[in-house]
Amino acid sequence: MKRRVPALGTAAGILPLIWLALCGHAWCSGHQKVSRPAVILEITRALDREDSARYGEMIAGLVRITLADAGVACVPAAPDQVGGFSSQKDATAAFLQVAREAGADFLLECLYTADPDGIAVELLLYTADTGELLARVSRQRRFDLNFDRAITDAVNELLKGAEVELARFEPAAGTPPAADPRPGRRDGDLEGEVRAGGPPRAPRFLHLELTAGGAPFFPLGAASDYFKIGAFSALGAAYRFDLGALVLGLGLEAGSSFFEAVGLSGSAETVLAPFGVLASCALSYGTPLEVAVRVSAGAALLSMAPSGLEDRLSKLLPYATGGVCLSLGFTPALGVILDTRFVTYFERSYEELSPLFGLIPTVCLYLRM
């Protein structure tokens, strides 16, 4: 018995070392560096009404673009592989099998529901071989100009939750296009070629807006007794703030109005040149059409050249304008604004306030950058 004690002690000391070595080998095998990008099978599908499926293509495109930017290879599922499941559990099991057959390393399920209050999106990332859920991220947001940012942030958060597993893979060189969701080769495809698919990246928000326009100037009230219809032109520059469904603009504007004033004693060529600050608030739902309320105020130079006099008569008047406008974009950067302005120039005549009113239905072109 005394001779067996050293042997038993030696065995007891060696067995933990062997166990550690086996565990270390298994850990290294599971975490060794792979000299290729990670491959993710992406599934995007609606969980509610069929009419919400129109959002799926856009959401899937945003997910694929974000994965490509992160250096991950994305393989979209074919359309005939997405539907026809009785439960979410059965769908996930089937998708994991598709991912393994496609040689993907991970499965990304993008599930969404849409209602009048917004779109709820849930992202789930699984390992393809074991089906382990690595990360889950949810977002709910109205469909507006910030919707693409919300999806991009959600995908990046999902990838961060699985950064240990993704760190084993080499990032893809450059930014590869998303793969075409239709399986198989088609006429004109080269061997190994992957066609781009999915919708384009949502346009970024353009903050600076420059406007230039013109309109007839219609004097109103007492001013219409001696002012004839004139011509108005304006230039403006505003910086826009994206507030979701609202877009707030702050900036400067300058303009000029030319018309003739006719009185009992003669006529005078008249120029009104306003310069002031402007503010606008627009309703925007990510469409080319926007409705806005615009106000501005400042000082205007009133210059008159009466007939029979060589010198011009000039003075400064405070003014204010307000109106409702409709903008229609031809492109994200170029469009037209139909603006109905009501303007008031606060003139004092014989120590009494004698305001000049006018209506200016303006047509402007805008350039955003």
pLDDT recorded at residue 33:
65
Lowest mean pLDDT segment, chosen from 30-44, 75-89, 241-255, 265-279: 75-89
- The DSSP symbol for 266 reads -
Helices within the chain (DSSP H only) = 4-31, 56-69, 88-101, 147-161, 163-166
Which residue reads 């930017």 in tokens?
69
| Averaged pLDDT of the chain | 78
1 has a pLDDT exceeding 50? no
Lowest mean pLDDT segment, chosen from 97-101, 103-107, 193-197, 345-349: 193-197
Confidence bin at 237 (pLDDT 50/70/90)? very high
Range 240-256 average pLDDT: 89
Give residue-wise pLDDT tens across range 28-50: 445 556 778 888 888 888 876 55
Give residue-wise pLDDT tens across range 126-144: 988 888 888 899 888 877 7
d(CA 175, CA 158): 19
Residues above pLDDT 70, as percent of the chain: 75
Which residue reads 């310069």 in tokens?
275
CATH 2.40.160.20 domain residues, the chain = 208-368
pLDDT recorded at residue 2:
47
What is the strand order of the sheet 39-46 is part of?
73-76, 39-46, 106-115, 118-127, 133-141
How many CA atoms are closer than 13 Å to the CA of 287, on its beta-carbon side? 8
- The architecture that CATH gives domain 208-368 is Beta Barrel (2.40)
Q: Annotate 77-137 with DSSP letters as a single string.
A: PPGGGTS--SSHHHHHHHHHHHHHHTT-SEEEEEEEEEETTEEEEEEEEEETTT--EEEEE
DSSP-derived pairing of the beta strands 73-76 and 39-46? parallel
303-342 exposure pattern, b = at least 16 Cβ within 10 A, e = fewer = bbebeeeeeeeeeebebbbebebebebeeeeebebebebe
197 has a pLDDT exceeding 50? no
d(CA 289, CA 203): 15
User: Which residues does 259 contact at the CB level (< 8 Å), separation at least 6?
Assistant: 217, 219, 227, 228, 229, 230, 231, 270
Coil/strand/helix, residue 287: coil
CATH 3.40.50 domain residues, the chain = 34-184+191-202
pLDDT recorded at residue 190:
38
Range 257-261 average pLDDT: 84
- The DSSP symbol for 145 reads T
Give residue-wise pLDDT tens across range 266-314: 678 888 899 999 999 998 766 788 899 999 999 999 888 877 677 778 8
253 has a pLDDT exceeding 90? yes
d(CA 50, CA 46): 8
pLDDT recorded at residue 53:
63
Domain 34-184+191-202, CATH 1.10.10 — does that match? no
